[in-house]
Amino acid sequence: MTGKVYICGAGPGDPKLMTVRAMELLTSCDVVLYDRLVGQAVIDQIPAKSEKVYVGRAVGDPTTHQKRTNELMVKYTKQGKSVLRLKGGDPFIFGRGAEEAEYLLKFGIGFEIIPGITSAIASPAYAGIPLTHRRYSSSVAIVTGHEGAEKEDSLVSVNWKKLPEAVDTIVVLMGIGQIEQISADLIKGGLKGSTKIAIVESGTTAKQRVVTGTLKNAAKAIDKHQVRPPAIIIIGKVAGLHKKLDWFSSVNAD
């Protein structure tokens, strides 16, 4: 009998933001294949009886490690095992979840998709930044800032210059290394240099840090505060609410 693959979001880092379904699968699946961004506190909860395999980056370049992950999913399911394919945040938000499902389809292997709380909404929430607000924002775009390494197989790109006229809040994932170009393009597209931004590093974890600034000085702020991935950038008026609505720094400090 062929096993099944559960392509599942692990949430943004805080293990309490795992869904009930994800927890259920974490304790019942035979094998767990997990990514770099799955929090250590989540990994610690995998029972000793399960096999756990790290399949994140560092195993090779993006193509090699994706190939290995695909092959492992097929290998284990052919052995009749249930496989939990655990990904940071949500599997369908820059998580290659769909590509893995497409791969499984080719082999006739059954799968389920379990959404997770994406870092794109959880990190702002833990920084006291609402992505929409009746006074400041009625639209949000979640975009990737990193089209470099993925470019060869990415068929679509972000239209930075059009975003400013289309949406009020922009959330950039994988963008801290490219912030200079991103800011320049958004300013060309019509955003003011004084537009508020907030950067959330290691959101929802004990290491969460929030750096605020403006579009014009974003690159300097990232450099000055030595911001490291994983981090997201929130651009727009709502970023200015951090100071007022921040609640996590005090809880986290307890």
Quick one: 189 or 229, whose CB is closer to ligand SAH? 229
Quick one: 3 or 199, whose CB is closer to ligand SAH? 199
CB of 89 to ligand SAH, least distance (A): 2
Q: How far apart are CA 8 and CA 130, in angstroms?
A: 25
**Six-digit token pair at 243?**
């100071």
CB 172 within 8 A of CB 235: yes
Q: How far apart are CA 46 and CA 81, in angstroms?
A: 16
**Contact pick of 26, 55, 218, 231 for ligand SAH (by CB under 6 A):** 231
Nearest residue to ligand SAH on Cβ basis? 89
The dihedrals phi and psi of 60, each to the nearest 5 degrees, come to 165, -170
**Touching ligand SAH, residues 67-86 (CB under 6 A):** none
- Binding flag, residue 38, ligand SAH (CB under 6 A): no
DSSP state string for 2-67: ---EEEEE-BSS-GGGS-HHHHHHHHH-SEEEE-TTS-HHHHTTS-TTSEEEE-STTSSSHHHHHH
Q: Binding pattern to ligand SAH, positions 136-175, x when CB under 6 A?
A: -------------------------------------xx-
**Touching ligand SAH, residues 82-121 (CB under 6 A):** 87-90, 93-95, 118-120
Per CB under 6 A, residues contacting ligand SAH are 12-13, 37, 87-90, 93-95, 118-120, 123, 173-174, 200, 202-205, 229-232
